[in-house]
A and B are shown apart, each in its own frame.
Chain A
């Protein structure tokens, strides 16, 4: 089966940096996605990695190491609105995304 692990909860201070780790063991690999989900809302797409390395998008960056089955999402200059759940998902074949349980990030003033 597919196994995708990420921490359950993280807390950080406004203006700080937080790194959310994701490790995966899947039968195949065809890309890794990060989504943000605010309570009661739809998951929204943040980033996509298919090759090793760092992808930067403004305050958010995502890193992938395929040999280690490892990714992280880096959130910089945290804002209160960044309080949300962050979902790591691996595409392991056609169509199918396998998700981790999500990391709830709480940003404190």
Chain B
């Protein structure tokens, strides 16, 4: 069971395309995350939003642009991607604050293929 949904589940795009990934959390959390998961590699944190403010940006190329319009929604806008950007993109959310365990709950991911 997951309270985090992602669309689309699969995406194929050319290097000149612009597309967006969408994430929605139904858990009432106040922080949301984007991760990249490539085969046989650890999950890489891309962006973190807390209370709709970006708090972490891990040197991600500018062809990835996040947007957090409210605490329940998170987008990842994609522009002129490279084939090496093909991966599983995971969204997560957590309830952050003093005294909380801050467990992150993940969505099912978007499998992206860049041709």
Q: Pick the interface stretch among A11-19, A63-71, A98-106.
A: A98-106
Known A-B contacts A31-B101, A43-B90, A44-B2; the reply to A101 vs B41 at CB < 8 A is yes
Q: Is the CB of A45 within 8 A of B31?
A: no
Could you say which residues of chain A place their CB within 8 Å of the CB of B33?
95
- Of residues 12 to 36 in A, which have CB atoms within 8 Å of B's CB atoms? 31, 33, 35
CB of B69 closer than 8 Å to a CB of A: no
Could you say which residues of chain B place their CB within 8 Å of the CB of A33?
103-104
Interface 1/0s, chain B 77-109, versus A by CB < 8 A? 000000000000010001010000111111111
Closest to B55 in A: A95
Range, interface on chain A: 20 to 34
- Of residues 31 to 67 in A, which have CB atoms within 8 Å of B's CB atoms? 31, 33, 35, 40-45, 48
Closest to B94 in A: A95
Interface residues of chain B, those whose CB is within 8 Å of chain A, are: 2, 4, 31, 33, 40-43, 45, 48, 50, 55-56, 90, 94, 96, 101-109, 111
Interface residues of chain A, those whose CB is within 8 Å of chain B, are: 4, 8, 31, 33, 35, 40-45, 48, 87, 89, 91, 94-102
Give Cα A109 to B9, complex, Å.
Answer: 32
Known A-B contacts A94-B55, A95-B48; the reply to A101 vs B102 at CB < 8 A is no
Q: Is the CB of A91 within 8 A of B106?
A: no
Closest to A33 in B: B103
Known A-B contacts A42-B106, A44-B2; the reply to A4 vs B55 at CB < 8 A is no
Could you say which residues of chain B place their CB within 8 Å of the CB of A4?
42
Partner of B108, one of A42, A97, A101: A42
CB distance from B50 to the nearest CB of A (A): 7
